[in-house]
Structure 1
Amino acid sequence: MSERRNVLTPEALAMMDAIARTGSFAAAARELGKVPSALTYSVRQLEDALDVLLFDRRSRQARLTAAGEELLHEGRRLLQEMDAVANRVKRVASGWETQISIAVDSILSSLTVFELCEAFYALNPPHGPGTRLRLRSEVLAGTWETLVSGVADLALGVSGEHTPPAGIKMELLGELHMVYVVAPHHPLASAPEPLTDAALVHHRAVAVADSAQRLTPITVNLLPGQDVLTVPSVGSKLEAVLRGLGGGFLPESLVREHVQVGRLVRKEVLRMNQAGRLYYAWRASPDGSAGRSRARLGLALQWWLEQLERPATRAALLQRHSGWQPGLLG
């Protein structure tokens, strides 16, 4: 048992990750600054100690066996945990996290997110407070998944369908009003209102793919048998609708200017008007004792939560999809 434990070093796990990501021993060796034969030898040592085959030798590429896939999956998790431990130790020493990861649903205002980043770095110009920011663009259940899986420290734009587990805190961000829009040259632009499901089902819908990898993906406003164009982000969905590739529900604040100048046509639909509540959530201390005081959180996460307590910041995240608004962080 001790021999198996001794071979499962961070270096060995990082080597497995590099081979899987790059697809070959040669490419992984270049990334790690080693020769391919050294990686081959290290893999064989790992296989001998674990008494398993990690790679399919019949394949010319570095194809993992089922055992190799499991080691890769668990190894990545262990590496993340090691980084998290180092981060917590650093935070205890200085109060500021080494890194903070923020998952942002693509339906929110990216302008506002980057203004918050500017304000954060301005705390100690020109380099900021020493905490690296890592932004992740996610969609629907994927935003929540990154938080509960430990990938993100803060998630913006999660739905109220999720029940927070121990160690996760959640607060209301606000309501997002959704409207159905099509391009002026789309057949539905001149159709009588309100549009029924029987009318919508014969026309392509544009949908944003849920970025969740493990949780059940969320599907919204798609009808059985309806043709669907799936895109990776809300911005891509807007572009597709503007081009007449389909119709779809989008935030009213995002399409307002397009409707005003005639680039889009807003259509009333028979189904219930879309208005969804969105929340922001964060990882509290493991025992969940941070509560509202947040005294045990890192200073960087505390700063972001303080900004999110401001009604102007929450409103801007939900509504300000274009233009600059003075006084957001004043």
Structure 2
Amino acid sequence: MSKKNPISIEVLETLDSIDRRGSFAKAAEELNKATSAVSYSVQKLEEQLDIALFQRQGRRSVLTPAGKLILEEGRHILDHAAQLANRAKEVATGWETHIRIAVEFMLPAPTFFAVVQQFLENHPTIEIDITESVLNGGWEALEEERVDLIVGAPGPVPQQKGYRAIALPSTELVPVIAAKHPKAQWANNKKALQAELPKLRRVVTHDTSTSGITRSGGLGSEGKILYVQTLEQKVEAIVAGIGIGHLPLQKIQPYLDQGVLLTLVLPEVHPVKEYMAWKLANKGRGLRALTEQLAAADWQ
């Protein structure tokens, strides 16, 4: 008969909590256990493995190299155990416990979060996990099953991937420059602007795709560039006068009204076609309910 493995899910949760909280006492509080029970659990594992898992550094309990190894690998086990429990519950009830969404925030964020708020009111046991995607990043995350749903991903829709895609209202993009920018006086002078354009720094959002072919949009990525991670950062960088770029009209209308940003006299850019998409193989009832609410939302 094989010897029982002393590394249980419970003890891994204990190690994880001690590492994150920095002490046995705080871990005990998080786990709703007595500090003595937490200490005993660790001591028992150390005795069974004949190794030290923690060492004291001032007031903190810090993992030894062996303890780090166990916890790093153990966290993968904890993640898989949680996923297994969620999948079992979904199979039994048809309702997910967790929905992962990648959002491209060219679309109106208040509308999106209003739908999420209403959905969670009706389904309080479902956990929503939201990440921000840019350009091809959302499609890649969906293909690799890192998310269950993408909202606001730009077209075209990848073909033969087994996706269900619903078109959302297009986003109108406008090229802008800050009124404080040194070259702002050329904003409405088409001839002078064309001459100055190659010298102006572009503010570009990183495509969050990591393994596919990345792309950029708007004014392009030639010449001097400031790369940013999110659309919000791009707005703030342009407002600060660092560079120029295309931004969604609905997000910057107040800045235009106040004269903080100026529209550049450049060729018109076609509105960006955006989509909501998920895999047809995903039959979760929660996902179906959420996508129905998002499709019915007023995105204007």
TM value normalised by structure 2: 0.69
What amino acid sits opposite 2:126 in the alignment?
Answer: R
Q: CA deviation at 1:137?
A: 3.8
Q: CA deviation at 1:258?
A: 2.6
2:74 and 2:159 map into 1 onto residues whose CA distance is: 28
1:150 and 1:247 map into 2 onto residues whose CA distance is: 35
Whether the 8 Å CA contact 1:196–1:269 is kept in 2: the answer is: no
Partner in structure 2 of residue 302 of structure 1 = 288
**Any residues of structure 2 matched to 1:210-289 within 5 Å, and which?**
218=214, 220=216, 223=221, 226=224, 228=226, 230=228, 233-268=230-265, 273=269, 275-284=271-280, 288=281
**Any residues of structure 2 matched to 1:125-164 within 5 Å, and which?**
128-140=122-134, 143-144=138-139, 147=142, 150=145, 152-160=147-155, 163=158
Whether the 8 Å CA contact 1:178–1:273 is kept in 2: the answer is: yes
For the aligned residue pairs, the C-alpha RMSD in angstroms reads 4.4
1:188 and 1:63 map into 2 onto residues whose CA distance is: 57
Q: Aligned in 2, Cα 1:15/1:58: closer, same or farther, shift over 3 Å?
A: closer
1:149 and 1:12 map into 2 onto residues whose CA distance is: 31
Partner in structure 1 of residue 189 of structure 2 = none
Deviations 1:16-67 (A, max 9, x none): 5434544566654443245353453365378x39xxx896979873376684
**Any residues of structure 2 matched to 1:31-110 within 5 Å, and which?**
31-34=30-33, 35=35, 37-38=39-40, 40-41=42-43, 44=46, 48=49, 61-62=62-63, 67-68=69-70, 71-72=73-74, 74-92=76-94, 96-110=95-109
Q: CA deviation at 1:251?
A: 1.3
1:40 and 1:206 map into 2 onto residues whose CA distance is: 51
SS of the residue corresponding to residue 187 of structure 1 reads coil
Q: Aligned in 2, Cα 1:76/1:62: closer, same or farther, shift over 3 Å?
A: same
Q: Larger radius of gyration, structure 1 or 2?
A: 2
2:143 and 2:239 map into 1 onto residues whose CA distance is: 35
1:243 and 1:25 map into 2 onto residues whose CA distance is: 46
1:63 and 1:211 map into 2 onto residues whose CA distance is: 35
Whether the 8 Å CA contact 2:166–2:295 is kept in 1: the answer is: no
Q: Aligned in 2, Cα 1:58/1:15: closer, same or farther, shift over 3 Å?
A: closer
2:290 and 2:257 map into 1 onto residues whose CA distance is: 34
Q: Aligned in 2, Cα 1:273/1:25: closer, same or farther, shift over 3 Å?
A: farther
Percent identity of the aligned residues?
25
Q: Aligned in 2, Cα 1:166/1:236: closer, same or farther, shift over 3 Å?
A: closer
Whether the 8 Å CA contact 1:102–1:152 is kept in 2: the answer is: yes
Partner in structure 2 of residue 193 of structure 1 = 193
What amino acid sits opposite 1:220 in the alignment?
Answer: S
TM value normalised by structure 1: 0.64
